[in-house]
Amino acid sequence: MEIDPVSEIKALLKGGRASASRRQLAEALRCYEVGAYRSCVVMTWSAVVVDLLAKAKELTLLADDEARARLKTFNEFFVRLGEREGFHARALELDRVILQAADEEYGLIDPHERSALERLRKDRDRARHPGMQPLHEPYDPSPALVRTHLRSALSLVLRREALQGERAFAEVWSGVCSSSFPVDRAKAALHLDESPMRNARRTLARRLLIRLIESLLLESEGASARARKFAALAAMLQRDPELVAATLRLHVSRVYSEIPVDARWRLLDFFAEVRAAWKAVDEPARAVCRQHVREYQGAQLIVALHHANRVPELAPHVSARVEALSARQLLALIRFGDLHVCKRRVIELYRAAASILGAEWIGQRLLLPVAELLDSGQLRRVLLAASENRNIYTSWVTLHEVLPELFERTRQHVQETAVDWWRLVHLLHQPDLEPPELADYGALLIERIVQEFPERPDDPDAPWFASERPLIDDIATG
C-alpha cells in the first residue's frame, strides 16, 4: 500500500525526526497544501539535500580511518562550503554531486533510488529556472507528480537512519545472530522494524537475504540459531515477497551444490521452513533433494527424512524409505515426531517380531507412541498379530502393560475392533495354552475388555460363535 506523503510528513515533524531538514520539510508541506506545487518541488529537493548533508557528516564522524580516507574528497567540499568566495559555484556543484556521493561514497542510497531522486532534482531545476522550459509552456507539475516526489524523498531519504550499507548490515546481522532475537516470526518482524531494516533500501534487504541463505545452507549451527534465522527470513518474506522469491531463485540454486552430502539435510530443512523456496528454485536443486531422500545412506539419514517429511513434494519419497528402516532407525524418526509416516512400518515390524524381547521392545518403544494415530484397520492388523505371533501373546510385558495401554489409547475404535479384542480373550483361556498362567498375565487386559463389551460380539465368523460360546459366556460372567 502506498504511503500518504502528507500524513507521513506531519508524522515526521510531530515525532521530532528529520530534525536537520525540518524547516525545509515544513515549508514543502505548506506549499503543497496551498497548491504552490512548483515551490513544493523546490523545497522537497532542499529537504533532501539538507538531510543527506547531515547524514554524511554524521557518518564521517563515525567512520574509521580507512572510511575517512575514502570520503576525503567530499569532506573537503564540506570544509569549503561555508567560504563566501565562490559560494554559488560550490552550491551548484553540491547539487550535482550530492546524489553521487550519497550512492557511491556513503552508501545511503542505491543506483535505482538515485535515479528517482535525480528526477526530483531535474524537476526542481525546471521549477526554479524559467529558462529550463519554453516561455509559452511554463513548468506546472501536477499534484500527483508532486506527491510522487514527496513519497520518494520520504521513503528513500528522510525516514532513514544515518547508516552506511556496511554499518547498517553489521547492525542488522548482529541482531539476527543475537540470542535475544525472537524465534517467533511475528515478533521477529517487529524486531526488524526496530532495526535499520525499518526503512532500508533494497540492497540492504537483498544482502541480508543472501547472508541468511548462505548461513542456513552452508554453516553448521545449533537448532536455536537456525530458528532465529528462519524467523528473520520469514519476516523478510512478509515485508517483500517479490524480493525474497527472486533472491531465493538465484542464490539457493547457486549454493546448494556446495553443501556436503552429509549436510544436505540443511537444504531439506530450508525447504520445510521456507515453503516459497521449493517453487522458487530451479529443477536441478529439487532433483538433488529427491535423490537424496531416495538414496542417502549416511549418518544423517533420519535427520534428512525428518526434514524431508515436512516438504509435501518429498513426503511420498520419505514414505518409501521408511518401509526399509530398522526398528532403531524408526525409533529415532518417531522421537522427531514423525508418527504418521511410521505407522505402517511399525505394524510390519510388530507382526514379524522374532523374539519375546523384540516384541516387547517394539510394543513399548514403537507401537504405543503411534497408537492414537492408528485407524481401525491398522489396529485390527496389530491385534491379529498379537493373537497369531507367539512372541507377542506369551509375553508378560505385552499382556500386562503394552496391550492394556493400547486398549486405552485406541478407545475411539472399540466398536470396530471388539471381535479382535475378544479373540485375544478367547486365546488366553485355551486350556492347552503354554504357559498356563497366561490368563493371569492378561488379567488386566481381560478385565478391561469384558467391562467394555459385557455382551460378546455376535459375529458368526468369531471362534466362539458356536462351539466356543459357553467358554466366552463363562469369561463374560466372571
Structure confidence by residue, pLDDT tens digits, 42-57: 999 999 988 888 877 7
- What is the 8-class DSSP label of residue 399? I
- Look up residue 332 and give its amino acid: A
Closest CA to 119 of 156, 91, 65: 156
pLDDT (0 to 100) of residue 83: 57
Confidence of residue 286 (pLDDT cuts 50, 70, 90): very high
Confidence of residue 110 (pLDDT cuts 50, 70, 90): confident
Q: Is the pLDDT of residue 321 over 80?
A: yes
Q: Where on the phi/psi map is residue 16: left (φ > 0), alpha (ψ -120 to 50), or beta?
A: left
Q: Is the pLDDT of residue 442 over 80?
A: no
CA distances from 475 to 120, 429, 434 (A): 94, 9, 19
**Any idea where the domains of the chain sit in the sequence?**
5-158, 163-258, 349-476
Q: Is the pLDDT of residue 16 over 50?
A: no
Q: Is the pLDDT of residue 476 over 50?
A: no
pLDDT in tens, 24-39: 888 999 999 999 999 9
pLDDT (0 to 100) of residue 460: 47
Q: Is the pLDDT of residue 207 over 80?
A: yes
**In the chain, what percentage of residues exceed pLDDT 90?**
47
- Pseudo-torsion of CA 469, 470, 476, 478, nearest 10°? -160
Integer Cα distance of 463 and 103 in angstroms: 87
pLDDT (0 to 100) of residue 294: 96
Query: What's the whole-number average pLDDT of the chain?
Result: 83
Evaluate whether 150 touches 30 at the Cβ level (below 8 Å).
no
pLDDT (0 to 100) of residue 464: 43
pLDDT (0 to 100) of residue 467: 43
Quickly count: other Cβ atoms within 10 Å of residue 91's Cβ.
12
Q: Which residue has the higher pLDDT, 396 or 449?
A: 396
pLDDT in tens, 372-382: 999 999 999 99
**In the chain, what percentage of residues exceed pLDDT 70?**
79
Q: Is the pLDDT of residue 260 over 90?
A: yes
Q: Is the pLDDT of residue 162 over 70?
A: no
Within 8 A by CB and 6+ apart from 279, the residues are: none
Q: Is the pLDDT of residue 473 over 60?
A: no
Enumerate the H helices of 182-295 as residue ranges: 185-193, 202-218, 223-239, 241-255, 265-273, 275-280, 283-295
pLDDT (0 to 100) of residue 224: 94
Q: What are the grid coordinates assigned to 321, written together?
A: 524409505
pLDDT (0 to 100) of residue 193: 86
Q: Is the pLDDT of residue 65 over 70?
A: no
pLDDT (0 to 100) of residue 85: 60
> For the residues 125-140, what does the mean pLDDT come to?
72
Integer Cα distance of 305 and 268 in angstroms: 9
Integer Cα distance of 51 and 20 in angstroms: 6
Quickly count: other Cβ atoms within 10 Å of residue 362's Cβ.
25
Integer Cα distance of 57 and 78 in angstroms: 8
Confidence of residue 204 (pLDDT cuts 50, 70, 90): confident
> For the residues 317-332, what does the mean pLDDT come to?
97
Confidence of residue 357 (pLDDT cuts 50, 70, 90): very high
pLDDT (0 to 100) of residue 226: 96
382: helix, coil or strand? helix
